Amino acid sequence: MYTKKLLITAVFALLMITGAAQAGGDVEAGKTKAAACTSCHGENGEGVDPNPPLAGLEEAYHVAQLQAYKDGSREDPMMQMFASQLSEEDMADLAAYYATLGKTETLTAAAPKSG
């Protein structure tokens, strides 16, 4: 429990540093916008089979994929429909948010429950 608190504090500290350093996406706004994505990609971006996880995706990669869906260079009817409704700002916010989820969420979710 204690370690988990420490980890959360560390992550928040890190977020504040990276958040200040990046002019791009707004993590809080991204979190709100991500409500549209959770049904397929999971509450914490962990992915819901067969939809891929988004947690921990590289920001630049994430934005590039959304743009590719939007302009049709990456084909998937489902994602093309969703991406077509996203502005550049939405994409940056979403990517920033999912990048903060990191791999820890996935690891925690996958870890066997003890006790």
Task: Figure out which of the listed residues 27, 66, 99, 101 binds ligand HEC, where binding follows CB under 6 A.
Answer: 66
Task: Figure out which of the listed residues 11, 15, 29, 36 binds ligand HEC, where binding follows CB under 6 A.
Answer: 36
Nearest to 54 by CA among 74, 75, 79: 79
Which span (4-12, 18-26, 50-58, 105-113) binds ligand HEC, by CB under 6 A?
Answer: 50-58
Answer for the pair 94, 37: CB distance below 8 angstroms, yes or no: yes
Answer for the pair 78, 85: CB distance below 8 angstroms, yes or no: no
Task: Figure out which of the listed residues 92, 94, 99, 101 binds ligand HEC, where binding follows CB under 6 A.
Answer: 94
